[in-house]
Structure 1
Amino acid sequence: MSELPLGALPATVPEPGLPARVTIYEVGPRDGLQNEKGVVDTAVKAEFVTRLLAAGLPIVEATSFVHPRWVPQLADAADLMTLLGEAGKGLPVLVPNERGLDRALELGMRHVAIFGSATETFASKNLNRTLDEQFAMFEPVVQRARDAGLDVRAYVSMCFGDPWEGQVPIEQVVGVGRRLLDLGASQLSLGDTIGVGTAGHVTALVDAFVAAGVGTDRLALHFHDTYGQALANTYAGLRAGVTTYDASAGGLGGCPYAKSATGNLATEDLLWFLTGLGIEHGVDLGQVVDASVWMAGQLGRPSPSAVVRALAGA
């Protein structure tokens, strides 16, 4: 499959005003696998990461150093990073607190991410903190990581809607995001955790960040396809000038703390979309499809990605 069959790529028709190049931030091995009911073998995870890197994905988030009680699917984080060896040290990992950072530092990791909430309820359920208390938890993590020379990314969940609180005010999301950037994060990933966002909402949120002094070069967008809006929302993001998009190979993933959060935007669907627009991404679609088909076999079910289904059957 690495060699795509004739006609298995869209016609390239560039559209004026869109970015020339996009960075895909692959989250499948972490965000994708953390929601699995069963535990995936460490060697399988390592093979998945290796295949995705070989496909040309520039960033592959490998795992999370979260307490095994909360996410048992990622309890093997240290073993996985050890198995990946030197190559693994350049991959980002999620660290929920200082204990997680300690483990990342011990293993020589160079990129970490923190995971904040735009809403009070999700902060309580996911972090066991209030909306304001989360910043006190993150501050020493970011400071220590930066002092050690690590790059820090910040995620904000529930940016477009919350299953307990409903619509989330744009100014509230901007306020949380600004505070995380002020702590020292280099990039802010805005998450549509339950997939309720629409294109106009994306435009309004990005515009609000720009109006608050946050350039689009510091923003990333993280869409879930719960209501089939992920690519439409990506298009809105591109028109607003955002050039980093989170995606998960095969459309794996969700959120273990939000039952209405279904799969992430599939990396293959995003690649097809960008290729059709003539936007450079540097990733081999066929190899990513191969990796997703292989992982689907390991998980015992077909990939939810439309592009994987189409090309795997081509």
Structure 2
Amino acid sequence: MTAMSRREDGNGPPAAGNGEVESDLTASVAGRLARWLEEQRTRLEALCSGASGLSGDALHDVRVALRRAGAIARLLRGFPGKGDGRDLGPAARDLRKALSPSRSHEVCRSRLLRRFPRDEARRAAARSVVARMVPPGQAAAPTPGAILDALGPLLGARIAELRQAAEEARPEVERRLLGRLGRRLRRRRRRLLDLGVPERSGIHRFRIETKHLRYALEPFEEEIPGTRELLKTLRRLQDAAGDAHDREEVVAVLKADARRTPGARDAARLLLPVLERDAERAAERTQRLARRVLAEASALPMRFP
């Protein structure tokens, strides 16, 4: 079993192995984060090696591993030396974004086709909208092999740098790293708190900031009191906010279709009242969770013992 094996549900962070991770983070924070990055590299290799393409759960898991690697890369940028690790975060971000070039189109199409199973008139109207939807003309997603080729060397170099820092075990370096991590985590939290409870139009941005905070905090679940509870709430918020964002995109597709195609206005008049109510309810659920996230994040000490 690895030091941080992945939880079975794929939603939480990798779980600690049996006694393999130090309970005292200050013993070797660099070594701890090297193992965290190693876990993401191992996960990516397992998902991408020999695969011809990615879809479904595998695609989701690759995106999560890229997010985790990118979040820690941002926290550690410039350690131990100026400029160290600066390329890993942007590379992980760019690969993740390139993996789903037509996600919005696919989600809107699927939601419209499934929304009215027992309403024949609205189902027919939804199908007419779907028939007019044009897939975005974007570049093909990177292959699994290309992901490993692009990210593997960067991850390997970063892991080696952190291991070397851990082996040197210089107390002043560890203290400097802990101070850097604390400052960057507090800055990340401040960006979220400054947003406040989002309006419907701000839910997507709020969701992005919660993701940044979640993936930055995951390696420190045992060290910062209250982190475990906050992470659970952040995951619930992400699910609710993702649903709300998708529903807003469906509404936007219908409005654009009605503006672009005069004959589509009847379908929009039939569908939009229902879909607008869907979006409003999803936004209200997200806002309730956002209040809880803000309260829990505000109370978090965000300092290491």
TM-score by length of 1: 0.28
User: Larger C-alpha radius of gyration, 1 or 2?
Assistant: 2
**Structure with greater helix share of residues:** 2
TM, length-normalised to structure 2: 0.28
